[in-house]
Amino acid sequence: MVKQTVLIGITILALILAGTAIAQSLIIMGQLNSLNSKIDTTYSTLGGQFSIIQGKISNISNQLGPKTVEITVHAVMHTVVDENTTMEFHTWIPNTIVIHKGDTVKLTIINDDEHIHGFGIPDFGVDTGPIQPGQSKTIEFTATKVGTFEFMCTTPWNPARNICDRDHPDMRGILIVLP
């Protein structure tokens, strides 16, 4: 009789523990879902900003014939905050640049982030080298070929020296050179 009582007690305890574990995992799943939807919202907001800035640049370069185009690109950080987590994303604004072949591009890179970043377009031999937080660098190049070229951060993540962040490989954008 005592054994049975103990067994029933253990069974009830096990059921309570299992119930708690299920409840906890449901809470965690709920938190993950809410975080994911916040990230989606942030991305769509950023997407809107990008297309506006991108449109301005397209308009500048819609004049005919080779010309000098002045473009400013910012290195920025966005945070997505949840009850438990703060996530940081680094990106270029704009992350799409449209110009014409023959254009001379005067490119000013402003580092609005608190980490060091560098800006490069390997296909045109462009690399600003490290830019300190709050500083800017201006470089000039001529778009000698038509096509789609990637630009990116050129200073790999190095937390000991405050260089970039863990999402360094995602700091990329596209330069489109129209005929």
Binding site for Cu ion (CB under 5 A): 117, 153, 164, 171
Least Å from the CB of residue 170 to Cu ion: 9
Residue (61 or 155) nearer to Cu ion, CB = 155
Which is nearer to Cu ion, 139 or 164 (by Cβ)?
Answer: 164
**Residues 6 or more apart in contact with residue 98 via CB below 8 angstroms:** 54, 57, 58, 61, 176, 178
Rounded CA-CA distance 137/44 in Å is: 29
Of 110 and 153, the one with the shorter C-beta distance to Cu ion is 153
Q: What is the token pair recorded at 93?
A: 């604004």
Nearest residue (CB) to Cu ion, 61 versus 120: 120
Nearest approach, Cβ of 85 to Cu ion (angstroms)? 22
DSSP output for 17-64? HHHHHHHHHHHHHHHHHHHHHHHHHHHHHHHHHHHHHHHHHHHHTTSS
In one-letter notation, the amino acid at residue 1 is M
**Closest approach of Cu ion to the CB of residue 156, in Å:** 8
CB of 165 to Cu ion, least distance (A): 7
In the bound state, the residue with its beta carbon closest to Cu ion is 153
**What DSSP element (H or E) covers 16?**
helix 2-60
Q: How far is the CB of 115 from Cu ion (least distance, A)?
A: 7
Token couple for 51: 């297309």
Q: What is the DSSP letter of 107?
A: E
Nearer to Cu ion, 97 or 153 (CB): 153
State the DSSP code for 134: T
